[in-house]
Structure 1
Amino acid sequence: MSEVVARLNELPALKNEPLLLREVSSQLFWGMSKVLDKRQALVAALLELDDCPFPESPVQLQVFLPPVGFRGVLFIENLMSYDRAMRSGSTALEGLALAYASGFKGSAQRMRTSDGCSLFFSDQGGDTRDLRDGFKAWLFGKGTQPAYFWGDLDWAGMRILAAMRASFPGLTAWQPGYAPMLAALREGQGHSPEAAEKQGQKALAHSSCPYADEQLAPALRDTGRFVDQELFRP
């Protein structure tokens, strides 16, 4: 413990350095980058500041843009499903920008700031400056196009949906993707939580998305089974 305190006492020397939080942690704690994760309040208190001066690592967001512009944005939970959707040409995806950020990272509120998000645009879609600027304007709060989420039909997926609604008000579960998954679940398909080592997932009381709360969550409770996104193509 005394060694940890000694390391924390070195924090003021880094106060004005342009470092990310994990870089600070690595420098202080013998190369361990995650020691200060979720401890921004402690850092701020030790430095006698209102807020932690060291930002978290930017969220890396992969984006596919339709060549003719987008009418909405679909966040996809799993990388394989994102890649399939990007290449599918399905009419269900027509006019949708597709976005992928690993797991719960898509719900991070810093993703809606230019400093908190690194964008990587796919060469499979439109890649003009106007298209990129249009997406950035939407992401950073100036666009009005609706947002959707499509992921695994399990409690973790429902929690990602609920968390993303805090960053993207009005975001809803994407019905063209979830409808066949819901039908499969009601027909007795899917798997038990234990079969996929998901038994630790806790049920979600509500997500505030009507479709999820009225259709998806009740089916999860009634069947006690989950369906993975990768089984389906939009």
Structure 2
Amino acid sequence: MSHRQSAPQWLSEEPLILRLLNSFIDKLERGVRPQLRVSAKTTPELYDFEEDVDYLWALLDSLDKDHHLITIKKSRVKPYQPTYEGAQLLFLPEREEQVRQWLERPAIDPYALVWQHELEKLSVLPPAAQGLAQTIVRIPELGAEKTLRGFLRIDEVLRKPMTLRALSARCFQGDSKVLERYEPLVRQLYPDLASHILPRPLLLAVYLPQSFQKLLFVENQDSFLALAQRRPPTTALIYSAGFRGSALRMREPEQVVFSYLDATAPSCVDFERFWFSDRQDRLVHFWGDLDYAAMGILKAVRQSFTEASAWLPGYDPMLEQLRAGEGHSSTSANKGLQKDPGLTGCQWADDCLLPAIRQTNAFVDQEFVDIPPLRLNG
């Protein structure tokens, strides 16, 4: 590891060097490439021949060869021109911290400056302004001004009940997802209005037979619809759509909206009576991709349906495919960065499915399975 060099003793006595180094830092802060071409306009000291210009140039050359702060690229010169005429001085950005130390110029946060400037422009400071002065929110696609004004607008918008997505869209240029990660901050900034934030109900599609004995959560749409077309006589199918079906509140009344496929009114009543109870007396299975994300869904489903297990008829052919070396890489771009859930609580998933994923470092998608031959009573 390299150690920081102390500033040379001559630095404080050389206005040209100080000015050039400061100009490079200025450019870095503005997001401009830190470079300069030597000319009578940019470095007049080198053209004042009452000065020791050779000494000044030697100092600049030292910044390159001795201190490695800049790179000097010389241009071709005519015999009567100084050797440094038209030379290009390129500052090395990785040396910014070193130069800031020499100049006693600590790093600044341009975004924080804009954030503070926008707060200072407000003629009337709303109650949330103090909290926003202490908490800087960085949403790069919006920038400091639009982000700050969006958060301040919540005070006038959140005067009636609405979902967080509706609030976000009305405060952030129609973007309903900006506030997804900032609900705790919204509640902290506006404690008197937080009760107006409505929970967003889960929307679950359900195939429901006349009388059901089992529940099968299905992760992906194509597989769910293909299973529903077979109209299993005793199995209710729930399209979990990723993690939506695994939320802890999915068995709480008024937190879920069901969309039924060809269900009768009595069967819906029976299904919802079971769903919103604490009963655990029906078989519950989960079937999704053979990957870490799906195993995470299974783990979460078991928090609401404690005996839920991986569905063997669906996962068995996927497991064979994986063990045959026919899975796709766990690092493929469309899978994102998935985390191993550890243990799901389902013995077969923990003893067989997850170890197979770990050993092969590969996944198999649910759509691999041919639906018609599946045993729906498994």
TM-score of the two chains, using structure 2 as the length reference: 0.55
For structure 1, which runs of at least 5 residues remain unmatched after alignment? none
Q: CA deviation at 1:82?
A: 0.4
For 1:77, which of 210, 219, 240 is the aligned residue?
219
Is the contact between residue 164 and residue 179 of structure 2 (CA under 8 Å) also seen in structure 1? yes
Instruction: Provide the C-alpha distance between the structure 1 equivalents of 2:187 and 2:168, rounded to a whole number of angstroms.
Output: 14
In structure 2, relative to structure 1, the CA distance for the partners of 1:50 and 1:167 (3 Å cut) is: farther
For 2:178, which of 27, 35, 41 is the aligned residue?
35
Q: Does residue 242 of structure 2 align to residue 86 of structure 1?
A: no
Is the contact between residue 44 and residue 53 of structure 1 (CA under 8 Å) also seen in structure 2? no
Say which one has the larger Rg: 2
Is the contact between residue 159 and residue 193 of structure 2 (CA under 8 Å) also seen in structure 1? no
Q: Does residue 312 of structure 2 align to residue 175 of structure 1?
A: yes
Q: Does residue 269 of structure 2 align to residue 114 of structure 1?
A: no
The aligned residue for residue 41 of structure 2 is: none
In structure 2, relative to structure 1, the CA distance for the partners of 1:5 and 1:199 (3 Å cut) is: closer
Instruction: Provide the C-alpha distance between the structure 2 equivalents of 1:56 and 1:133, rounded to a whole number of angstroms.
Output: 24
The aligned residue for residue 229 of structure 1 is: 366
The aligned residue for residue 149 of structure 1 is: 286
For 2:165, which of 22, 26, 31 is the aligned residue?
22
Q: Does residue 273 of structure 2 align to residue 134 of structure 1?
A: no
Q: CA deviation at 1:53?
A: 3.5
Task: Provide, for residues 184-211 of structure 1, a one-character-per-residue CA deviation record: whole Å limited to 9, x for no partner.
Answer: 2223332223456336323232112211
Worse-matched range after superposition: 55-64 or 182-191: 182-191
Q: What is the identity percentage for the equivalent residue pairs of Structure 1 and Structure 2? A: 37
The amino acid that maps onto 2:265 is R
Structure number with greater CO (CA < 8 Å, separation at least 6) is 1
The CA RMSD over aligned residues, in Å, is 2.3
The aligned residue for residue 186 of structure 1 is: 323
Is the contact between residue 40 and residue 52 of structure 1 (CA under 8 Å) also seen in structure 2? no
Q: CA deviation at 1:24?
A: 0.8
Q: CA deviation at 1:140?
A: 1.9
Equivalent positions of 1:194-213 (< 5 A) are 194=331, 197-198=334-335, 200-213=337-350
The aligned residue for residue 100 of structure 1 is: 239
In structure 2, relative to structure 1, the CA distance for the partners of 1:26 and 1:199 (3 Å cut) is: closer
Task: Provide, for residues 30-83 of structure 1, a one-character-per-residue CA deviation record: whole Å limited to 9, x for no partner.
Answer: 21211211322222222225965312432221100112x111211100101001
Worse-matched range after superposition: 21-30 or 11-20: 11-20
Q: CA deviation at 1:216?
A: 0.4
Q: Secondary structure at the match of 1:208?
A: coil
Q: Secondary structure at the match of 1:148?
A: strand
Q: CA deviation at 1:119?
A: 0.9
Q: Secondary structure at the match of 1:219?
A: helix
Q: CA deviation at 1:226?
A: 1.4
Instruction: Provide the C-alpha distance between the structure 2 equivalents of 1:143 and 1:64, rounded to a whole number of angstroms.
Output: 20
Is the contact between residue 322 and residue 364 of structure 2 (CA under 8 Å) also seen in structure 1? yes
Worse-matched range after superposition: 71-80 or 29-38: 29-38
Is the contact between residue 40 and residue 51 of structure 1 (CA under 8 Å) also seen in structure 2? no
In structure 2, relative to structure 1, the CA distance for the partners of 1:199 and 1:5 (3 Å cut) is: closer
Give runs of ≥4 in structure 1 deviating > 3 Å: 1-7, 12-16, 49-53, 194-197
For structure 2, which runs of at least 5 residues remain unmatched after alignment? 1-114, 119-144
The aligned residue for residue 153 of structure 2 is: 10
In structure 2, relative to structure 1, the CA distance for the partners of 1:135 and 1:191 (3 Å cut) is: same
Is the contact between residue 146 and residue 171 of structure 1 (CA under 8 Å) also seen in structure 2? yes
Worse-matched range after superposition: 11-20 or 211-220: 11-20
